[in-house]
Amino acid sequence: MRAAPRHAERRSAWPHSWRTCARPWAGGSPPDVTAYLVGEKVAPHLGAADLLTQEQREGDPDHYRQHLLHAEPDGSFSVVGLVWLPGQRTAVHDHVSWCVTGVHEGEERERRYRLVPAGGPGEPARLVATEDVVNPRGAVCGFAPPGDIHRVWNGCDDTAISLHVYGADISRLGTSVRRVYDVPADR
């Protein structure tokens, strides 16, 4: 069993108001539209030298590290930085809310899945890989449940850092993961 990623002390180094990113979902857009609109706000800041403090860039040798950068007081959204040392990966999982990810440094790899229900009695449900994606620095992806099952990893020799905006209060929940899938994967 993998320990949950540690949270760093909350301290924002974002170059502008977090609420600027919040404007797209203030009107109650559907989750997939919200993710797209938030992604447009996040993209211009990826790769900026002053986006994260040195503390927020620190990894953990045992597993990827989550730094909580901001949680909106009303719980409507959170921003986290994930630091991935070479070879670190998530389990196959889905999320509690819509999410936008942007690669700030390095490169992340992602395998996306769909869940195929059991075909009959005694037959287990299974995951089918639908797409392998390489997300370089500056890449932005947005998604919303259902249909957000994936695994992410750092397949490079250098540290990878990504920024994640979730439509949930990660300071309260501790994680964006809704469910970890232990069903067999096809690859």
Distance between CA atoms of 121 and 60, rounded to whole angstroms?
A: 43
| pTM of the entire predicted model | 0.83
In the block, tokens 């559907």 appear at: 30
Average pLDDT of each block of 10 consecutive residues along the chain (187 residues)? 40 51 61 80 86 94 94 88 96 92 95 88 87 95 87 95 92 91 67
Q: Are 86 and 117 in contact (CB under 8 A)?
A: no
- Residue 97: closest CA among 36, 32, 162, 17: 32
Exposure string over 151-181, b if 16+ CB within 10 A, otherwise e: bbbbbbeebbbbbbbbbbbbbebebbeeeeb
Please tell me the predicted confidence (pLDDT) of residue 28: 72
What's the half-sphere exposure (Cβ side, CA atoms, 13 Å) at 111?
16
**Token couple for 115:** 């869940």
Please tell me the predicted confidence (pLDDT) of residue 10: 39
Please tell me the predicted confidence (pLDDT) of residue 144: 83
Please tell me the predicted confidence (pLDDT) of residue 117: 87
Exposure string over 57-91, b if 16+ CB within 10 A, otherwise e: bebbeebbbbbbbbbbeeebbbbbbbbbbeebbbe
Q: Kindly compute the dihedral angle of the four CA atoms of residues 113, 144, 133, 111, in this order, to the nearest 10 degrees.
A: -30
Please tell me the predicted confidence (pLDDT) of residue 3: 40
Please tell me the predicted confidence (pLDDT) of residue 158: 96
Considering the four listed CATH numbers 3.90.1710.10, 3.40.50.10240, 2.60.120.1270, 2.60.120.10, the one that applies to the domain covering 10-84+94-109+136-146+156-175 is 2.60.120.10
**Token couple for 72:** 């909106």
At how many degrees (to 10) do helices 18-26 and 31-42 cross? 150
Q: Containing H/E element for 109?
A: strand 107-116
